[in-house]
Structure 1
Amino acid sequence: MPDANGLFDPDRVAVVGATDREGSIGRAIMENLEEFTGTVVPVNPSRETVLGYPVANEIADITDPIDLAVVVVPPDIAVEATRELGEQGVKNVVVITAGFGEAGSEGATREQELKSIAATYDMNLVGPNSLGVMSTPSRMNATFGPANARPGKLSFMSQSGAFITAVVDWANDQGIGFKDVVSLGNKAVLDESDFVDIWDDDPKTEVILGYLEGIGDGRGFIDVAREVTKETPIVLVKSGRTEAGAQAASSHTGTIAGSERAYEAGLDQAGVLRAENVQELFDYAQILAGQPVPDGNGVAVISNAGGPGVMTTDAIGDSNLEMASFDQETLEGLREALPEGANIYNPVDVIGDADNERFEAAIDLVLADSNVDAAIVVATPIAVLDYGKLATDIGTLQEKHDIPVATALMGGERIDAPARTLRESGIPNYFDPARAVTSLDALLTYRDITRIEYEQPQTFDVDRERVQEILETAAQRSNRIGVEAMGILDAYGIPTPEGAIVETPEAAQEAAESISGDVVMKIVSPDILHKSDIGGVKVGVSEDGVRDAFEDLITRAKNYQPDAQILGVQVQEMVDLETGTETILGMNRDPQFGPLLLFGLGGIFVEVLEDTTVRVAPVSQREATEMLGEIDSAPLLRGARGREPVDEPALIESIQRLSQLVTDFPAILELDINPLVASPEGVQAVDSRLTVDPDKL
């Protein structure tokens, strides 16, 4: 993308469609730009001035270079205006106008024209259907919102313009400021990944925030964000569920791993902190922008009230934080500084009659303890405690000891001024101590994110040509492929039992004779997905019973579904399920994030227990390993109840190999390996089915 400096730090801004007509968006934008430190050029064919600014009647009349153009004219004119801006060499354009992709097929055509124009002229384009952009260092408010943002260290993007107006108004009341604010609109050209990339290079942006209803290129976002989060935290609120996530899917994986799970996995892999609501979004933002990350997990609580102190301790128990144990030196210091009856152990209770001197002494001693990585100061108002001085003391002590501190100075109006004092020191204050805990927990999570060393996915030696051939042949019959696709797994190095698909009783007999011991026999039909439900699976068939079993399976299938396409019967080596653990390994192709891998407890209970975890492919060895540990049934894999541990490296490799398969072949829409039996000796894919898009082969 071209240089975006002119988008948030322009010297000259043109407003195409500027007007002084009361109640118009063009006037609102011009009024909001009155505090802009640069030059504003209104463009209007029928005015000589707008709000005192000299007007350019045509875009071509503008003689000096324009860094940013804001377009607020009807849709058809907006398209031509954007083209003219491109011809004039304008590289940054915000299209406020609605009536594009959100307005039916005609609007979608116009939006495609905007994309084409932006590509032709190498243009950064925000919108269309955007509220606009703000940047506080130059006091630029190129939006039609009702208020300017306060200056700050947060940069905020939103897919909803209305949400921006509400957030800015609320943040102003809370004393929270922004560096940049952008309304993404329809994201015809610039999207969330672009702004994450832009703000990564901005030293004045300390935290990136966003409200998103969807992510267009999920895999691209992961790749960009995981680099950015090494230095700059990203916190997002994601709302809405895609239509694809609500549709019924034909595979277990598709049923369980809906689109919302794709977002959860994708944002986690991107290193993004996900907030559940607006309050969390800004709770996290304030502590990330103002406080250092903790070295460890030990947190101390200092309070003048037993009840709130216990509430804080309970919240810590539900988090990833741990109550710190104090050194003997700290305990002795607290014993001397506090009256008899005070609790010197964590949580420290300085007792309800504590004045500022006692509170300060306790905080100083606790923050100096080498076991304390973070602290929460909880206070309720009493006559002998000056909240203003307490806020000042906390700020001074936090700077002295340089560990993260959050506060819960509880009360009403009396905390307004102290809270501002704390904010000036970068310390967030929360009425509810639990919010202080969750915010510190987010800081801890971000610390862990910065320590992740991302690995490239491993590439295995596989037989792609064989897979292509199997898929093309099978897709000529149906878009759903059952056990006849086991060769696909074999081609990608995922172990499968010995076996063959046969079309006659004689061939079944011959196949069974080549396999040692009893066999499993399954009907092969793309139209019959749940074979066991119709008696389409026979287990433990002896050599003498193979012919009869073949005839019975064919008869059952025809009686169940007379018009079903029957390809034959699979004769397969028996897999020992007694010593093995049935798992499921699958993939569902999400419209935003692409192939979504699923791993978990398999067999017949997969959709009942739903003990599964997901990742966006391709995955590295580290990510595949994490998947094994995330399911509730992980102890079964490690040898619970006297069982031998399964071959976890074989499972991990199978996840990686499936990841490569579904990345290599976008035509595979859904895939289930269920069960993938894991034993101490390795893994075997006993059954599989997939859905393919023939048009992508």
Structure 2
Amino acid sequence: AERAVRALAEVVQYAAWRRGIAEPGKVPEYDTIDEAGAGALIRRALAEGVADPRGVRLGDDDAVELLGRYGISVRPTLPAPGPDAAATAAARLGYPVALKTTAPHLRHRADLGGVRLDLGDEAQLRLAYGELTDALGTPAELLPVVQSMAPRGVDTVVRAAIDPAAGAVLSFGLAGAASELLGDLAHRLVPATDRDAAEQIRSIRAAPLLFGWRGSTPVDTPALEELLLRVSRLVDDHPEIVSVDLEPVVVATHGLSVLGAGVRLAPPPARDDFGPRRLPSY
């Protein structure tokens, strides 16, 4: 029954659009975008990168800089190759902090104990560092980092990637099992409009968690919509960007925090007609 209802809803929306009732939405402009600076960074990275059919993965600093050119801030992270370095990093960032492993097999795997949160002082940090290395491996294997704590909220994931058939696709879901195990992700074609972004975050099955499910405090969905639109604009402006992965994005009551970011580049495809196909309204 749900599939039939969804199909009818699409028919109703399409009919409203044809009659000019539904607002088509628009791609917003932002004064804080530095398109030229981002383009220069991308060209330099591609020129310096090692040839790889999968493209060039930006280093953490370059990824943060590129995203920053489009008004997307990533919470600072400092390497912690030893307990003394971790303490120095935490003092620089300010307590409380989080201690995380960044090894590929442990990335985003809080369930394996690779993330320790709310460390309020140096003693707690050193204790957590020892527990982490005793349980999971040496610092060289774990690649630990220290990051300042973000306000509590709902963990989400924002991605963009090139689909061979459809072009650039913007994806959104809740971080963890909701998206990885259940595939609860919503997708929109790039460039996304403000209406696309608003509908996207409301279309996943777990969306009630963002809007005060069972008495919880609703999170800042306008900030989340803006993040989606800025990622969409970044990918649309620069066809060399073949993937963007922001995970987790912690959406709090006021504002959000991007805690992890990855960007991959490749020479632009030969085709230049990717994008949403829109039927004309008569």
| TM-score normalised to structure 1 length | 0.32
Number of residue-to-residue matches in the alignment = 253
Which residue of the other structure, out of 477, 480, 483, is the alignment partner of 2:57?
480
Question: Do the aligned residues in 2 keep the contact of 1:619 with 1:659 (CA within 8 Å)?
Answer: yes
Counterparts of 2:123 and 2:38, CA distance in 1: 34
Aligned to 2:26: 456
Aligned to 1:469: 41
Counterparts of 2:72 and 2:177, CA distance in 1: 21
> Structure 1 residue 680: deviation in Å?
0.9
CA deviations on 1:263-296 (whole Å, 9 max, x unpaired) are xxxxxxxxxxxxxxxxxxxxxxxxxxxxxxxxxx
Is 1:510 equivalent to 2:82 in the alignment? no
Q: How does 1:36-185 map to 2 (within 5 A)?
A: none
> Structure 1 residue 667: deviation in Å?
2.1
Counterparts of 1:663 and 1:442, CA distance in 2: 26
CA deviations on 1:335-385 (whole Å, 9 max, x unpaired) are xxxxxxxxxxxxxxxxxxxxxxxxxxxxxxxxxxxxxxxxxxxxxxxxxxx
> Structure 1 residue 523: deviation in Å?
4.1
Aligned to 2:15: 447
Counterparts of 2:82 and 2:137, CA distance in 1: 13
> Structure 1 residue 584: deviation in Å?
1.2
Counterparts of 1:476 and 1:531, CA distance in 2: 23
> Structure 1 residue 617: deviation in Å?
0.7
Which residue of the other structure, out of 489, 508, 526, is the alignment partner of 2:67?
489
Which residue of the other structure, out of 238, 254, 262, is the alignment partner of 1:681?
254
The code of the aligned residue for 2:34 comes to D
Aligned to 1:150: none
Counterparts of 1:604 and 1:642, CA distance in 2: 22
Question: Do the aligned residues in 2 keep the contact of 1:467 with 1:487 (CA within 8 Å)?
Answer: no
RMSD across aligned positions (CA): 3.8
Distance 1:517 1:454, change over 3 A: same
Partner SS, residue 531 of structure 1: coil
The code of the aligned residue for 2:122 comes to E
Aligned to 2:223: 650
CA deviations on 1:44-87 (whole Å, 9 max, x unpaired) are xxxxxxxxxxxxxxxxxxxxxxxxxxxxxxxxxxxxxxxxxxxx
Question: Which stretches in structure 1 are left out of the alignment for 5+ residues?
Answer: 1-314, 321-437, 561-567
Aligned to 2:138: 556
> Structure 1 residue 682: deviation in Å?
1.2
Question: Do the aligned residues in 2 keep the contact of 1:584 with 1:599 (CA within 8 Å)?
Answer: yes
Counterparts of 1:504 and 1:470, CA distance in 2: 33
Distance 1:593 1:319, change over 3 A: closer
Structure number with the bigger relative contact order (C-alpha 8 A, sep ≥ 6) is 2
Question: Do the aligned residues in 2 keep the contact of 1:495 with 1:683 (CA within 8 Å)?
Answer: no
> Structure 1 residue 483: deviation in Å?
4.9
> Structure 1 residue 470: deviation in Å?
7.3
Q: How does 1:273-422 map to 2 (within 5 A)?
A: 318-319=4-5
Is 1:583 equivalent to 2:178 in the alignment? no
Counterparts of 2:49 and 2:98, CA distance in 1: 27
Partner SS, residue 670 of structure 1: strand
The code of the aligned residue for 1:488 comes to L
Partner SS, residue 514 of structure 1: helix
Distance 1:591 1:638, change over 3 A: same
Distance 1:540 1:471, change over 3 A: farther
Q: Which has the larger radius of gyration?
A: 1
Distance 1:442 1:608, change over 3 A: closer
The code of the aligned residue for 1:572 comes to Q
Partner SS, residue 652 of structure 1: helix
Question: Which stretches in structure 2 are left out of the alignment for 5+ residues?
Answer: 270-282
The code of the aligned residue for 1:515 comes to L
Counterparts of 1:686 and 1:467, CA distance in 2: 24
> Structure 1 residue 468: deviation in Å?
4.7
> Structure 1 residue 591: deviation in Å?
1.9
Question: Do the aligned residues in 2 keep the contact of 1:483 with 1:687 (CA within 8 Å)?
Answer: no
Question: Do the aligned residues in 2 keep the contact of 1:482 with 1:529 (CA within 8 Å)?
Answer: no
Counterparts of 1:687 and 1:656, CA distance in 2: 18
